[in-house]
Chains A and B, each alone.
Chain A
């Protein structure tokens, strides 16, 4: 029953799997003018041994971010993070057994300064079922700490690292099966501030996307177990910000006022999906893509890799609800990847007016050249209007107003819009058509043997002679009986008409 050693090592690599690619053992700044060891050390964020009293890091639950470090020397920072396995709602009426760093998904936000020496305590709650560990992407060292933090239930591990690189980094559990630990919510962010700190803003928030795999369907009620099959197929049931549908909407929405700056630390825990992070109605003034130091400006949507993060900043100009989405948009509206930033304050109509006009847009059905209408109007004024001129004008008006529903060929749409072509309803009483146009028609009618039950709104915007021309065109087209309607007849019908045309029963 004894096994060769290398098997055991292989299994170890598998079970405490962190990133297989090691970090480069030495970093030399390319093209640095001053390549002295001290300069290199400073570039890499080693500012010497920790000074002063050890500091206990303030950890916050999402969407909150700890206050800025505000320190001008490297310190020893003690981080105490507890792993808790607990059942929590993932959607309304749906619960899931999350594995968490600090009791929340994503885990507690950690904030340190570049050059700090971080003494990390990972505690695994006594009633946990599983052993856990932590791989911090902000750690330079094997496994990002994973190999040194493998912790059984009811135990605590400690390891220490120097935060050499500034930036926003994902941390996650790297115990086998890594994907399942991450899918159960074991990820969070650690911010390593540059020595000078970050620029001052009005609000900082912590948002992290993750994909979730349950055996039940989206929003299927009850306690839903993890579905390994769906996870391997990368078919998530939920894609969420901050671990719960509704974590950032309604009463939980992020808030700001107008004329403020907002900084979002946006991470993506995965385990599988890459996020196309977008805030509907905002343009990111500044993005540090992938948490790097080179900023990108004027960005609409920024890609956040699984196991990556970005710092996003923008200025609020006008009030309203701004919607945070993964712009792989079915995830937003069908899997839950939605959040709201509610901005209160005074309107600024010079930047955004709100709705000024709501009018019907007819597209290219609207003939730009209404020459025939003009001709007819002139002829009418001169008392020389002919039936042919009326038909020509009516045809153009019909195209603009009526054909949207009744179609250019007068056939209508089956079961929805009745036909005007060869219409027995029209032929039975051509005069009735005038009040239908001016006052609309609601309810059941029978046309050519088919029953229609819909609403035609009153076309009150049409003038008397426009109605006359349109109806004359209709009566003389598509096999209808012919005839002519005058402007005066329309005026009379409009004045006399009952409140609504009476449908046939």
Chain B
């Protein structure tokens, strides 16, 4: 009886990711998103929340897969992850040389990311939450008007992704959040609500010119370019898709 209880406890411990992840508290508030809340100028409202300070790593995701074998790459349901899912791991339960423990995990579907966050008692951040956290630099909570902040984003885009990903552990921003704009893209909860019309523009829509006009106005905000590219990336994906550069982190309510 005692032995069985001990085993059960051990199993419970194994089911939890090794070492509790760090979450930083972010105050939230009114926030000028690149996607205005009313389509024109209205700021977004971000409720106080907590955000994982680092992206989920290969080692952390391996622990999750061991505890939840339905997320092994050889057992995952095809509708929940495409064929590239974790394909850089040596096998279903071994990382190997191309997936180092401290590298951010990539080739993860939205479904898998969501399941992982649930296992941590968390969820994926919303776009607004992610954008709000990424607006900070080392000393300011909103550094977006600084050209250096924008250059930092663009510089990552203009580097080819043929080199191995670095380990996580970059410098923290003003919230204590690390590695948010690089070295990986990150899933957000509402990724597919950002651009539902991306591949079905209706040219007969009498308002199409108005929309193009609105786009032109937004494009004048060149600070937005770098962020909009992220939205373009997210909206190119379906929830079962995985890519070589798409990872994630989790969020919790305050």
One of A10-18, A192-200, A456-464, A475-483 at the interface = A10-18
- In contact, A225 and B233 (Cβ under 8 angstroms): no
| Nearest CB in chain B: distance from A122 CB, A | 12
| Nearest CB in chain B: distance from A158 CB, A | 12
- In contact, B244 and A7 (Cβ under 8 angstroms): no
- In contact, A13 and B39 (Cβ under 8 angstroms): no
Q: How far is the CA of A146 from the CA of B154 in the complex (A)?
A: 23
A320 at interface, CB cutoff 8 A: no
A360 at interface, CB cutoff 8 A: no
B9 at interface, CB cutoff 8 A: no
A20 at interface, CB cutoff 8 A: yes
| Nearest CB in chain A: distance from B99 CB, A | 15
Return the CB mask of A406-434 against B: 1 if under 8 Å, else 0. Answer: 00000000000000000000000000000
Chain A residues in 8 Å Cβ range of B229: 130, 176-177, 180
Chain B residues in 8 Å Cβ range of A12: 195-198, 201, 211, 235
One of A108-116, A147-155, A242-250, A277-285 at the interface = A147-155
One of B12-20, B67-75, B157-165 at the interface = B157-165
Within 8 A of B (CB), among A465-492: none
One of B30-38, B52-60, B112-120, B172-180 at the interface = B30-38
Q: Which of B39, B200, B211, B245 contacts A129 (CB 8 A)?
A: B245
Chain B residues in 8 Å Cβ range of A4: 38-39
| Nearest CB in chain A: distance from B220 CB, A | 9
Q: Which of B37, B214, B242 contacts A10 (CB 8 A)?
A: B214
- In contact, B84 and A154 (Cβ under 8 angstroms): yes
Return the CB mask of B204-221 against A: 1 if under 8 Å, else 0. Answer: 000111011011001100
Within 8 A of A (CB), among B223-249: 225-226, 228-229, 231-233, 235-237, 241-245
- In contact, A225 and B158 (Cβ under 8 angstroms): yes
A6 at interface, CB cutoff 8 A: yes
Chain A residues in 8 Å Cβ range of B228: 14-15, 176-177
Chain B residues in 8 Å Cβ range of A147: 198-201
- In contact, B199 and A16 (Cβ under 8 angstroms): yes
**Interface size range of chain B in the complex:** 35 or more
Given contacts A7-B39, A14-B219, contact A20 B212 (CB under 8 A): yes
- In contact, A126 and B214 (Cβ under 8 angstroms): no
Q: Which of A7, A126, A223 contacts B243 (CB 8 A)?
A: A126
- In contact, A126 and B84 (Cβ under 8 angstroms): yes
Given contacts A147-B201, A152-B241, A226-B154, contact A127 B219 (CB under 8 A): no
Return the CB mask of A227-244 against B: 1 if under 8 Å, else 0. Answer: 011001000000000000
Q: Which of A5, A17, A127, A225 contacts B212 (CB 8 A)?
A: A17
Interface centre among B196, B212, B236 (most CB of A within 10 A): B236
Chain B residues in 8 Å Cβ range of A215: 151
Q: List 20 A-B contacts (CB under 8 A).
A: A5-B196, A8-B194, A8-B197, A9-B211, A10-B215, A12-B196, A13-B197, A13-B215, A17-B212, A20-B209, A87-B162, A126-B244, A127-B160, A127-B162, A129-B160, A130-B232, A142-B201, A143-B201, A148-B199, A225-B155
- Chain B residues with CB under 8 Å of chain A are 35-39, 44-45, 84, 126, 128, 147, 150-151, 154-155, 157-162, 185, 190, 193-201, 203, 207-209, 211-212, 214-215, 218-219, 222, 225-226, 228-229, 231-233, 235-237, 241-245
